Amino acid sequence: MDLRQFRYFVAVAEELSFTRAARRLGIGQPPLSQQIQQLEREVGAQLFARLPRGVALTAAGQRLLHDAKDILARSERAMRNAGRAARGELGVLQVGFTASAAFNPFVTASIRDYRESFPGVQVELVEAHTTELLERFRTRRLDAAFLRPAPGECGALPCTPLLREPMLVALPAGHALAARRSLPMAALRDEAFLLYPRRNGRALYDAIVSGCEAAGFTPRISQEAPQMASTVTLVASGLGIAIVPASMGQLLAEGVTYRPLEGPAPCAELSLAHQTETAQEVTARFVRLVLARPRPDLAEPALARPQPARPQPARH
């Protein structure tokens, strides 16, 4: 049997007349009768009781009518869904982002706009450092990602620069430098630095170290933190200072004050990488949406409010 036989059967069952069903289908009555007889042979039961005028459904016909309508509805839905998937309106999209990119309003707005524009697409978000995100691309476990790659790190993977983000220095709230509105890189020469490991993100690590060297000193690294947000937590603990992308100023950690860097200072570049070899239309639509958005640099980063200095114990 095929879907055509189901359509013929449903038409006869709804019209209860071969003559009216043939007229509705736009075919002759003899070929319609032949198709119904063939269907009855395949089912092994009579589907219609022939009456002096018209027909009536048998018990087998009533059962088949319910299932045939369901099958036809599903087949039509399957065809529509296949077309929607081809147009990028249905499917699954895996989007990656680094921990620092998650704080950038451009990233969050892009994902929100895509979800609103394509509600039929299931968006799966993956947070990881740049090195891991690139590995996911290599193993076909990611469609697109907001990351901060070093020059040449993406290889043949398409990677479009989106914006250059200024950096902030995160200081313990009671730090002497927190009293200043902004700081030159040279003011940090005697500080202990908390850095994100280079193996997880070469671009940010190298930008910070190069910025320090351009200011005339080599940073004294006291500790590395596995995640960018962890460096801010360690700053709150008084273990050192950290230089972070400006959008992370939205992370209002207690005991941390953010200050902009003045003069020549490192920047954090944000890029969009995306799959091409196994890419589907859902990926192409996401990339087009992201690249069509205005991409101004974050010239005026949002700063967390300075935390009051903690009182020092009295000395005797």
Domains 3-86 and 165-267 share a fold: no
Q: How confident is the model at residue 296 (pLDDT cuts 50, 70, 90)?
A: low
Residue-level pLDDT at 278: 64
Q: What is the DSSP string of 219-249?
A: -EEEEE-SSHHHHHHHHHTTS-BEEEEGGGG
The CATH classification number of 91-162+268-292 equals: 3.40.190.10
**Which residue shows structure tokens 């092994």?**
44
The answer to whether the CB of 289 falls within 8 A of the CB of 113 is yes
Rounded Cα–Cα distance for residues 27 and 231 (Å): 75
The answer to whether the CB of 233 falls within 8 A of the CB of 253 is yes
Q: Minimum mean pLDDT among 33-47, 83-97, 113-127, 176-190: which range? A: 83-97
Residue 315 has pLDDT above 60, yes or no: no
Structure confidence by residue, pLDDT tens digits, 140-188: 999 999 999 999 999 999 999 999 999 999 999 889 999 999 999 999 9
Domain spanning 3-86, CATH class? mainly alpha
The matching CATH number, chosen from 1.10.3470.10, 3.40.1360.10, 3.40.190.10, 3.60.60.10, for 165-267 is 3.40.190.10
Name the strand (E) or helix (H) holding 96: strand 91-97
Rounded Cα–Cα distance for residues 15 and 32 (Å): 13
Q: What single-letter amino acid sits at 35?
A: Q
Rounded Cα–Cα distance for residues 240 and 94 (Å): 36
Domain coordinates in residue numbering, the chain: 3-86, 91-162+268-292, 165-267
Mean pLDDT, all residues of the chain:
87
Residue-level pLDDT at 14: 93
